[in-house]
Chain A
Amino acid sequence: CHTSGMLTPNGKEYAQKIPREELTHLILKLLQAWKEPLSHFNQHIEHHQELPDDSLSKAKQISNMVHELKTGVEKVTEKARFLMQLLFIPVMYNSLHGIASAEAAGLSISNEANMMSDSDFIHCFRRDSNKVQSYLKILKCRTMPENSC
Chain B
Amino acid sequence: MPRTGRIREKLRWSKIYTFSCIRHPESINADAGPSLSLSLSLSLPLPGPGHSRIVRCNQPRAHKRKPLDYPTNYISTTKYNIVTFLPKAIFEQFRRVANLYFLLAACLSVTSISPFSPVSMIAPLAFVVGLSMAKEALEDWRRFVQDMKVNLRKALVHKGNGRFSNKFWHKIRVGDVVRVEKNQFFPADLLLLSSGYEDGICYVETMNLDGETNLKVKRSLEVTLPFEDDRSFKDFTATIRCEDPNPSLYTFAGNLEHERQVYALDPSQVLLRDSKLRNTSYIYGVVIFTGHDTKVMQNATESPSKRSRVEKKMDRIIYILFTVLVLVSLISSLGFAVKTKLEMPSWWYLQPQRGDNSHLYSPSTPGLSGIFHLVTALILYGYLIPISLYVSIEVVKVLQAMFINQDLQMYDEETGNPAQARTSNLNEELGQVDTILSDKTGTLTCNQMDFLKCSIAGFPYGLSSSEVEIAAAKQIASEESGGSVQNGGGIDYWENGGSGFGSSPEIELEGGITCKIEKPRKPMIRGFSFEDDRLMQGNWMSEPNPGTILLFFRILAVCHTAIPELDEETGGFTYEAESPDEGAFLVAAREFGFEFCRRTQTSVFVRERYPSSAEPIEREFKILNLLEFNSKRKRMSVVIRDENGQLLLLCKGADSIIFDRLSKNGRMYEADTSKHLNEYGEAGLRTLALAYRKLEESEYSAWNTEFLKAKTALGPDREAQLEQAADMIEKELVLVGATAVEDKLQKGVPQCIDKLAQAGLKIWVLTGDKMETAVNIGFACSLLRQGMKQIRLSPMNKELITQDANKAVKEDIQKQITNASQMIKLETDPHAAFALIIDGKALTYALEEDMKHQFLSLAVDCASVICCRVSPKQKALVTRLVKEGTGKVTLAIGDGANDVGMIQEADIGVGISGVEGMQAVMASDFSISQFRYLERLLVVHGHWCYKRIAQMICYFFYKNIAFGLTLFYFEAYTGFSGQSVYDDWYMILFNVLLTSLPVISLGVFEQDVSSEVCLQFPALYQQGAKNLFFDWYRIIGWMANGLYSSLMIFFLNIGIFFTQAFLRGGQTADMAAIGTTMFTCIICAVNMQIALTMSHFTWIQIVLVWGSIATWYLFLLAYGESSPLVSGDAFRLLVEALAPAPIFWAVTLLVAAACNLPYLIHISYQRLYNPMDHHVIQEIKYYKKDVEDQIMWTRERSKARWATKIGFTARVDAKIRQLKGKLHSKVSSLSGQTVVATPPPDVL
Q: Do A and B bind each other?
A: no
Interface residues of B (CB under 8 A from A): none
